[in-house]
Structures are given as C-alpha cells and as structure tokens.
C-alpha cells in the first residue's frame, strides 16, 4: 500500500550478505486503519462475485503466481537467505493450496440442507458459512509465502479481503504477492499490505478487522491475543513446535534417517514442523544413528541450506548446543565450533537429558537431538512431554496406531512434514503451539461465520412455541418424546 502518514522507513536485508534488498515504510495506526477501510470497500465487491466469480479470479491468481514463480522465489531467497530451489518449492506448495481453496470453497461453505429433527418436522433447516469481511494476517519470516498463504488464500476463497502484515524481515515478499493478485483483480485491491514492526502488528489487531490470523512465536502469540481481546476480535494462533520423530524397531531406517536430516536441517532448521527431537528404539538405534550421521556430514551450511534469517536466533541455537553438551550430550556431528557468524554447520547430539533446553525449548536451528528409548510407547510418552503440540513423524509399520496417542495437530507416518503439502488436511496445533486451523475444509470455515436458517413450511398441530399451548398439547408432545427417545 502507499503510505499517507508514515515518515519512518526500514530496510530488509539479505542475511547471506547483509546487502539491502529493499526499503519500506513503517506504517502507522492511521495507515493501517486506512488499509482496513479500503479492504472493507473491496470486500463488498468481492463478496458480490459469489463463489463462481471468486473461484475464477483465484484460479487466475494461481496462474499469475506460476508465471512469476521465479521472480517471487528470488525475493524469498533474498530476504530469507534460503536456497533458490527451496524458495521455489515453497511457491509450488502455496500454488497448490490456492488451487484447492478456490475449487472447494463452494462445496464446503455454500448453503446446504440439514436434518430438522422430530420437533422441527415442519421446518426446512439450512446451514451456510458467510464471509467475515476483512481478515488481518500477521505472517512469519521462515516461510513468508507458504505459511501466510494458508490464511490468505483460504480467507479470500471464503469471500473475505485481507490486510497482510508480513514479517519485518520479509516485507518484499508480501508486496510481490499482493502485486500478483492485483494483476487479476484490477477493480479492487483484495490484499492490502502494511509493513513495519510490532507496533504495526498491534495496530492491525486494534483496527477493527473481523479476525486476526497470526503465525509466530508463542510469546508474541500471547501478546496478539491480549491485544485482540480488547475488542473481542477472534484470533487464529499458529505458534512454534518441538516436533519429534519416532523411529520404531520396524522402521525403514534409511528412509527414517533421510527424513530426519531433511526435517531437521532444511531451511537451516527454521521450520515450525521440522524435526528437533528424534526418539529411536534401542534395538535399531546404532544402525539408524550411523545412517543419520553419514547423511548429515554430507551437508554444507551456506550451500545445502542458508544462514539464520533472524540473526538473534543464532544465540538461541548456540545456547541449546552448549547446554546439551554441558549436561552430558555427545556431539556426533558438529558442536560448539559449528557457528560462523549467522551460518551454523549441522549439529547432531545424542543422549541429551530430557530437561535440557535443546529438548524442552524450540531451537529453530540446524540442531538434531537423538535419544534412545526402550520402546515406541516410551517414545510417545517423551514426545508428548512438552507444552508444544504442533506436528510429529513416525517411522513404523504400526505408525497410524501410534499416531493416535500423540498430542499434536498433525502426524506424518513414514514421511516428514508431508501433511503440510496436502491441501485437504487441516494444519494447526494444541497447547503452546496455538489453536485454530488453516488448510482444508476447517481452514475455509475458520474465516467464516456459520449462519443457521430455519424456515417454517407448515404449522404443527401442537403449538409448541406459542401461548396457545395447553396441558393436553404438552401431554401429546411428551408422549411423542417418550416413544421416540425413552425406550
């Protein structure tokens, strides 16, 4: 958006080089309210297009994203430092979600008949999901396209417009996304972008939007909830995780090791549903660990994955590594000497005490903790022994049964992070990982309000909801209830 008030600016930097990628305004409370007002006007037009009209425009947007995929990916790579192909993969996943949301919105949200029950036998009952209006989205920096698009695309498909506050580390990504949508909706701007720091996000929470969808740390999520509580603005909160990978005795160890390395080290470990803890059953621990170590040693920081996008995160990773080693953990790959500015070489530490920060806190860096357990039941117990509850992975022939015992929102069996690439599956956590869901039918409904309609088709012989009701009428009704429900 074009700022009318903001006088301050800030730069986004390439974390690989420190070069300035772009300069952006720090949007003020007045700027944010102006963006919301424009989005409200656009929402009336967007809602008026109906499901078919919105589907057509969103599918056009998908095509525009594909046409400009390399351009958008280059902005992602420049602002996050991740390899270009990883940025491309992020775009591919987001495109698939836009496609799914556009094609499934009407079936999921459109008005449908529901059973009226015995007492409503004279009623025609229907249910529909109406758009909220304007949705505020506060996005993260680690996956600056894929993660916020889980809210943006689904909110748009549901008939809302969006005011998007990207991370201050990746503002250019938000702007280029909005530009691609503007190509196919020249009549109105459906995706307003406001840039800045925490105060801009706070202004969005207080701006009168119908809902706020936030992705970020648990601490910031609590502040967003507190700010939104002032105006009873509902929130969707997706925070971090301390996701575990369980390797059972029946696991394909080669596949499990490959998954652990990708889940733990891709994007420099800056993945909320990545692998931070591995629990491997004793009988296969030596074989699995050898495979994991060999695969990890073949990776190079700065080539296979990038630096820490947020420089201060380096200190968190260093503290976790130091604490794990001080408490008796064994460094199998890397260690205290793995830190080179904001670039961190892969680190694998075994036998880390369960009270270590590397086990209890989200690391968000290229550190994999590997601990042995006597059996899968103990692995599940330890996986659940955290306030977080986002995702998990299980390698086992009995994986689906084990998944039922995990306290988390998503599980990949014999794979890692695979649930995120399936648009029909809802994505979200429990506990310190937040609440609410993006993706899938639940994600579409998250950005709507259910509206129930009961239409009387004819009058009942027993006037249940009328002062004309007599004791005899009540006896008749009670007789029907006893006959139907009392036996």
Closest CA to 279 of 292, 294, 266: 292
Taking residue 358's Cβ as centre, other Cβ atoms within 10 Å add up to 27
3-class SS of residue 328: coil
The encoded tokens of residue 66 equal: 């594909």
DSSP, res 29: H
Task: Please tell me the distance from the alpha carbon of residue 344 to that of residue 323, in angstroms, as a whole number.
Answer: 17
DSSP characters over 201-225:
HHHHHTTT-SEEEEES-HHHHHHHH
123 phi and psi, to 5 degrees? -110, 145
- Under a CB-based contact definition with an 8 Å cutoff, are residues 331 and 348 in contact? yes
DSSP, res 366: S
DSSP, res 235: E
Task: Please tell me the distance from the alpha carbon of residue 330 to that of residue 343, in angstroms, as a whole number.
Answer: 22
| Catalytic residue, candidates 192, 238, 361, 362 | 238
Instruction: Tell me whether residue 54 is exposed, middle or buried, using C-beta atoms within 10 angstroms of its C-beta: 0 to 12, 13 to 18, 19 or more.
Output: buried
DSSP characters over 118-148:
STTTTEEEEEEEEE-SEEEEE--SSSTTHHH
Which residues are CB-neighbours of 100 under 8 A, at least 6 positions away?
Answer: 423, 424
- Clarify whether 286 is annotated catalytic: no
391-395/347-350 β-pairing: unpaired
| Catalytic residue, candidates 205, 228, 239, 272 | 272
Place of tokens 């938000």: 174
Residue 232's region, left for phi above 0, alpha for psi from -120 to 50, else beta, is left
- Under a CB-based contact definition with an 8 Å cutoff, are residues 381 and 398 in contact? no
Assign 3-state DSSP to the chain and report helix, strand, coil percentages, each to 5. Answer: 45, 20, 35
Task: Give the C-alpha distances (Å, rounded to integers) separating 241 from 59, 77, 125.
Answer: 32, 24, 41
- Clarify whether 272 is annotated catalytic: yes
Q: Which residues belong to the active site?
A: 238, 272
């Amino acid at each position: 958006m074009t700022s009318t008030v903001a006088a301050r600016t800030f730069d986004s930097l390439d974390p690989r080089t420190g070069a300035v990628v772009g300069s952006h305004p720090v949007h003020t409370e007045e700027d944010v309210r102006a963006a919301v007002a424009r989005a409200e006007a656009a929402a009336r037009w967007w809602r008026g297009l109906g499901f078919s009209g919105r589907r057509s425009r969103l599918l056009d947007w998908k095509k525009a994203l594909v046409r400009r995929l390399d351009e958008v990916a280059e902005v992602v790579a420049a602002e996050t430092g991740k390899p270009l192909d990883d940025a491309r993969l992020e775009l591919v996943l987001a495109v698939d979600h836009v496609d799914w949301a556009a094609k499934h919105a009407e079936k999921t949200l459109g008005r449908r008949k529901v059973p009226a029950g015995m007492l409503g036998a004279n009623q025609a009952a229907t249910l529909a999901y109406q758009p909220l209006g304007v949705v505020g989205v506060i996005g993260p920096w680690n996956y600056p396209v894929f993660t916020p698009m889980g809210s943006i695309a689904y909110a748009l498909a549901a008939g809302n417009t969006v005011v998007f506050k990207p991370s201050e580390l990746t503002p250019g990504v938000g702007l280029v996304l909005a530009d691609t949508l503007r190509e196919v909706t020249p009549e109105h701007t459906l995706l307003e972008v406001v840039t800045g720091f925490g105060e801009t996000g706070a202004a969005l929470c207080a701006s009168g939007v119908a809902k706020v969808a936030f992705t970020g740390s648990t601490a910031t999520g609590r502040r967003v909830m507190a700010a939104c509580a002032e105006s009873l603005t509902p929130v969707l909160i997706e925070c971090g995780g301390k996701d575990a990978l369980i390797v059972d005795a029946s696991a394909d160890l080669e596949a499990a090791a490959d998954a652990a390395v990708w889940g733990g080290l891709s994007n420099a470990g800056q993945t909320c549903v990545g692998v931070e803890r591995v629990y491997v059953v004793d009988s296969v621990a030596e074989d699995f660990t050898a495979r994991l170590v060999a695969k990890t040693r073949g990776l190079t920081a700065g080539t296979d994955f990038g630096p820490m996008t947020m420089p201060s995160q380096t200190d968190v990773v260093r503290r976790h590594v130091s604490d794990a080693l001080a408490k008796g953990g064994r460094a199998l790959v890397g260690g205290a000497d793995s830190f080179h500015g904001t670039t961190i070489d892969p680190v694998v530490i075994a036998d880390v005490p369960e009270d270590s920060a590397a086990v209890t806190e989200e690391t968000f860096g290229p550190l994999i903790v590997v601990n042995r357990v006597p059996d899968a039941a103990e692995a599940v117990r330890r996986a659940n022994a955290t306030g977080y509850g986002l995702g998990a992975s299980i390698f086992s022939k009995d994986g689906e049964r084990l998944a039922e015992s995990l306290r988390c929102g998503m599980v990949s069996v014999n794979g890692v992070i695979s649930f995120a690439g399936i648009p029909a599956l809802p994505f979200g956590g429990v506990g310190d990982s937040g609440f609410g869901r993006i993706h899938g039918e639940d994600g579409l409904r998250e950005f709507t309000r259910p509206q129930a309609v009961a239409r009387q088709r004819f009058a009942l012989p027993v006037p249940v909801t009328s002062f004309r009701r007599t004791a005899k009428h009540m006896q008749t009704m009670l007789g029907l209830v006893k006959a139907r429900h009392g036996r």
